[in-house]
């Protein structure tokens, strides 16, 4: 069979012969001209990546494909940069199968994980990153792979595995300040989603304490995970606020209200501190949540059982007076949602939290002024669904990308990773 090589392949083969010719050439003695015999030339060993040639046949004839690991890596990298994730994944997988001992295996494993992330195939991405960690545990890419692995588990909702991975990260000795704060925050996020609010609160506070400890010695490259931690401290107290019911009789109501008001103010302070970081995405999320606190307190009052001893007329008077007194809560919620929209407009960001605030603002405005045209056509809706469950919030902001060594710049992720993804 005649095998026709591409121009690029011929160039590589010619270069190999040139190098071999140089290795076998003659040298010179000191003080003599060129061409004088000097004895056997030193042996030069050239480590070259192996090459493979494939021949495939179809109706159009026989097709020849000659390739080596560098060429496959280049093809896959271009596909990844072009967001052709299926092609990138297939090519990286081929490289790993055909050249298992190549020096390109490590970066290919990492980039294969990125290609699977682009496809939102979290399980396959986790397998790639885990393989890299197992094969190259001491390499810097293993550290980044552990971060990616923990995030992939989070995407799958496997919070125990995510928490365990970030505990492993925190045990490493090669973490810089940004690494440590991110690992603490992500581990706290896993604990938060496991319902262990006490452990999560401890983790998020640890991130803030660590920042204060190193701020005079080391400059952070991003405030994302600090704002992330502060926001979720607000979420923890927000969750405790939701779980505190208002109950009758009046003595119990006073006690419950004092506790609920304290949790509201604590959550509000955490959200305001989040806004102070100046991170646009987290600031817009926190602003929305402050407005939600007052609306939720309004709902809690509305759902307090009416004293059973009241007759029909007394019940009507009770409801009217209650709504008059708690109207201020809706007004505070409206004010916060309006301010959040103005802040988002000033910052020039476009997030799902902006849309959420717009809907909330329109609803509150129409609840407060039923006969006035709303600034938005959003329908009137209750804060709670008929089932009593709170609607799912928009996804939290995306985390900064963490790239491995030799990895091309990835596409921006748009998944729910920190939710839960967050990120």
pLDDT single digits (tens) 205-234: 999 999 999 988 888 888 999 999 999 999
In angstroms, the CA 285 to CA 205 distance is: 19
Q: Are the beta carbons of 421 and 415 closer than 8 angstroms?
A: yes
What's the mean pLDDT in 364-393?
Answer: 54
Report residue 52's pLDDT band, with 50, 70 and 90 as the boundaries. Answer: low
| Predicted confidence (pLDDT) at residue 46 exceeds the cutoff of 80 | no
Pick the closest to residue 141 from 87, 104, 93 (CA basis): 104
**Who has greater pLDDT, 343 or 6?**
343
In angstroms, the CA 95 to CA 98 distance is: 5
Domain ranges of the chain: 65-156, 222-397+419-423
- Which phi and psi (to 5°) does residue 179 adopt? -60, -50
Give 150: exposed, middle or buried? Use CB within 10 Å, 0-12, 13-18, 19+.
buried
| Predicted confidence (pLDDT) at residue 377 exceeds the cutoff of 50 | no
In angstroms, the CA 212 to CA 217 distance is: 10
Q: How many CB atoms lie within 10 A of CB 210?
A: 16
Tell me, rounded to whole angstroms, the distance of Cα 257 from its chain centroid.
37
* Integer angstrom CA distances of residue 414 from 78, 232, 237, 262, 265: 21, 20, 28, 36, 33
Q: Are the beta carbons of 235 and 268 closer than 8 angstroms?
A: no
With a pLDDT cut of 90, the percent of the chain lying above it is 57
pLDDT single digits (tens) 315-355: 999 899 999 999 999 999 999 999 999 998 888 877 788 88
How confident is the prediction for the chain on average, in pLDDT?
A: 80
Name the fold adopted by 65-156: 1.25.40
In angstroms, the CA 8 to CA 274 distance is: 55
388-393: list long-range contacts, CB under 8 Å, 24+ apart. 390/242, 393/356
The H helix count followed by the E strand count for the chain is 15, 2
CB neighbour burial string for 243-278, b if at least 16 within 10 angstroms, e if fewer? ebebeeeeeebeebbeebeebbebbbebbebbbebe
pLDDT single digits (tens) 10-37: 333 333 433 344 444 444 444 445 555 5
In angstroms, the CA 94 to CA 112 distance is: 11
What's the mean pLDDT in 106-129?
Answer: 97
pLDDT single digits (tens) 143-179: 999 999 999 999 999 999 999 999 999 999 999 999 9
> What size, in residues, is the chain?
423
With a pLDDT cut of 70, the percent of the chain lying above it is 72
Does the reported pTM lie above 0.85? no
Q: Are the beta carbons of 390 and 414 closer than 8 angstroms?
A: no
């Amino acid at each position: 069979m005649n095998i026709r090589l591409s121009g690029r392949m011929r160039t590589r083969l010619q270069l190999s012969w040139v190098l071999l010719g140089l290795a076998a050439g003659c040298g010179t003695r000191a003080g003599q001209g060129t061409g004088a015999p000097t004895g056997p030339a030193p042996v030069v060993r050239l480590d070259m990546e192996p090459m493979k040639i494939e021949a495939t046949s179809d109706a159009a004839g026989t097709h020849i494909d000659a390739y080596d690991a560098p060429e496959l890596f280049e093809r896959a990298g271009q596909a990844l940069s072009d967001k052709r994730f299926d092609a990138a994944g297939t090519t990286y997988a081929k490289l790993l199968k055909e050249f298992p001992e190549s020096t390109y295996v490590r970066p290919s494993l990492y980039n294969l994980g990125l290609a699977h992330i682009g496809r939102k195939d979290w399980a396959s991405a986790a397998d790639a990153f885990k393989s890299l960690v197992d094969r190259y545990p001491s390499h810097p890419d293993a550290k980044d792979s552990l971060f990616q692995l923990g995030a992939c588990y989070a995407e799958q909702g496997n919070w125990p595995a995510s928490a365990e991975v970030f505990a492993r990260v925190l045990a490493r000795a090669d973490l810089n300040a940004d690494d440590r704060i991110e690992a603490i925050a992500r581990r706290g996020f896993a604990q938060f989603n496991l319902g262990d609010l006490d452990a999560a609160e401890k983790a998020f506070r640890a991130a803030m304490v660590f920042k204060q400890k190193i701020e005079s010695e080391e400059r952070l490259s991003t405030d994302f995970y600090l704002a992330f931690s502060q926001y979720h401290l607000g979420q923890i107290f927000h969750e405790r606020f939701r779980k505190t019911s208002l109950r009758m009789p009046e003595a119990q109501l006073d006690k419950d209200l004092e506790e609920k008001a304290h949790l509201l103010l604590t959550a509000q302070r955490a959200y305001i501190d989040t806004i102070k970081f100046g991170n646009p995405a987290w600031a817009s999320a926190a602003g929305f949540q402050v407005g939600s606190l007052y609306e939720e307190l309004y709902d809690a009052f509305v759902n307090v059982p009416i004293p059973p001893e009241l007759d029909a007329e007394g019940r009507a008077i009770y409801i009217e007076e209650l709504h008059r007194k708690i109207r201020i809560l809706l007004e505070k919620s409206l004010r916060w949602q309006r301010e959040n929209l103005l802040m988002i407009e000033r910052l020039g960001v476009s997030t799902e939290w902006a849309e959420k605030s717009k809907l909330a603002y329109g609803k509150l405005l129409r609840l407060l002024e039923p006969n006035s045209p709303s600034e938005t056509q959003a329908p009137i809706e209750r804060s709670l669904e008929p089932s009593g469950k709170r609607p799912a919030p928009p996804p939290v902001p995306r985390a900064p990308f963490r790239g491995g060594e030799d990895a091309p710049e990835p596409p921006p992720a748009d998944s729910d990773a920190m939710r839960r993804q967050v990120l």
